[in-house]
Amino acid sequence: MRTRTIRETRKVPHTIDGRTVLVDEPYDVHVPVPPRDWDRTVRTGVVAVAGIIGAASIGWSTASIGALLDLVVITPAAYAAAAVFDLVWIACMALEWLARYDPARAALPRRAGYVALAIAMAAVGVHGHIEAQLVIGIVGATVSGLAKGLWTLVLAHHATPLDSRTQQWVDIQRAEAGGRLAMVAVRRELTRADALVEAEQAALRTTPDPSPETPEDEAETPDDAPELPGSGPMTIADAVRTAVSCGINEPDAVLRYVRKVADANAKEESVRRTLRMARRTA
């Protein structure tokens, strides 16, 4: 069994003139070396070969299709468009790789990749036909086919489909996470809409807000209404929550309380919106 040497240190006592201290002493440790993982080496080599072949395919297809398109457009645009043909099916393979644990999601990019590959191979063959070199065009088209075929085998080797129950569990978790993510955007949209409505109403309001406290308001307040704490200062949201927690749900009563302990100029619409939110979370 092969071993390798590791240099480590340990604390040892060292005495000079009757005084002992702990000092570092290096020492060697021989640890076994695990056997070489040939499976991983082979997989790495195959992926490297597939990458080289893919790069060669892009180069060949771009040169061939670029020469074809160069007959009708300027050279930079022709070769830029030619690069798209192979890059599309390569991008589809990347999406297929990301969905390697979900065969249903991987099916669409796989089919799209085959369609893009067929178009790229046909374009290379057409270039050979136009140049009166049909055989060369067919051979050149097989370059992209071989690259796609090798990458398909590599993806199939790394794909790990889940069993039915585990796949259903993953789908449910993904749906719940997607729903929470969607609600973030929905709440942001609703908040923005409420703010726009409030701004529009404030701009159209031509009369001042009513006084925070009037004798008529006091007369309308029932004698048996719950006693609300009057300590402050508070924010509008805190005042609304305090009123709700004390059993006051009437919007006018809550508005009077907010203007008393939080903001004498509190907007009615703001208080009502905060009251609705407090009722939903109560």
Q: What angle do CA 209, 191, 267 make, to 5 degrees?
A: 10
Residues 79 and 138 reside in one and the same domain: yes
Residues 138 and 58 in one domain: yes
Question: Mind listing the pLDDT tens digit for each residue in 101-158?
Answer: 888 888 899 999 999 999 999 999 998 888 888 898 898 889 888 998 898 898 888 8
Domain presence at residue 171: no
Segments of the chain scoring below 50 in pLDDT: 207, 211, 214-226, 230
- Indicate whether 16 and 56 sit together in one domain: no
Query: Is residue 39 domain-resident?
Result: no
How many other C-beta atoms can be found within 10 angstroms of the C-beta atom of residue 21?
10
Q: Are residues 78 and 144 in the same domain?
A: yes
| Res 122: pLDDT | 92
The domain in which residue 20 lies consists of: 3-32
Is residue 177 included in any domain, yes or no? no
Per DSSP, the three-state class of 16 is strand
Query: Is 21 in the same domain as 107?
Result: no
pLDDT at residue 91, as a whole number:
92
- Closest by CA position to 153, among listed 110, 112, 117: 110
Classify burial at 280, counting beta carbons within 10 Å of its beta carbon; exposed 0-12, middle 13-18, buried 19 or more. exposed
**pLDDT at 99 (0 to 100):** 86
Q: What is the pLDDT of residues 203-217, one digit of tens each?
A: 776 545 554 554 444
Residue 106 lies in a domain: yes
Residues 83 and 138 in one domain: yes
Sequence-ordered list of residues with C-beta below 8 angstroms from that of 266, at least 6 positions apart, any chain: 236, 255, 258, 259
If asked whether residues 23 and 90 sit together in one domain, one would say: no
> Which structure tokens are listed for 226?
């719950």
pLDDT in tens, 163-172: 888 888 888 8
d(CA 148, CA 118): 10
pTM for the predicted model, two decimal places: 0.53
In a domain, 61, yes or no: yes
Residue 168 has a pLDDT of 87
Are both 52 and 127 inside the same structural domain? yes
On whether both 53 and 7 belong to a single domain, the answer is: no
Query: What pLDDT, on the 0 to 100 scale, is given for residue 215?
Result: 47
Residue 174 forms part of a structural domain = no
At 266 the pLDDT is 79
> 154 and 59 share a domain?
yes
Q: Which helix (H) or strand (E) holds 25?
A: strand 19-32
Domain count, the chain: 3
Nearest of 93, 145, 95 to residue 120 by alpha carbon: 145
pLDDT of residue 26: 92
Q: Check whether residue 128 and residue 233 sit in a common domain.
A: no
- Residue whose C-alpha is closest to residue 66's, from 8, 11, 4, 140: 140
Q: Is 4 helix (H, G, I), strand (E, B) or coil?
A: strand
Look up residue 109 and give its amino acid. Answer: P
pLDDT at 233: 61
Residue 50 domain-assigned (yes or no):
yes
Residues 76 and 115 in one domain: yes
Which of 158, 184, 200 is the C-terminal boundary of a domain?
A: 158
Q: Does a structural domain hold residue 166? A: no
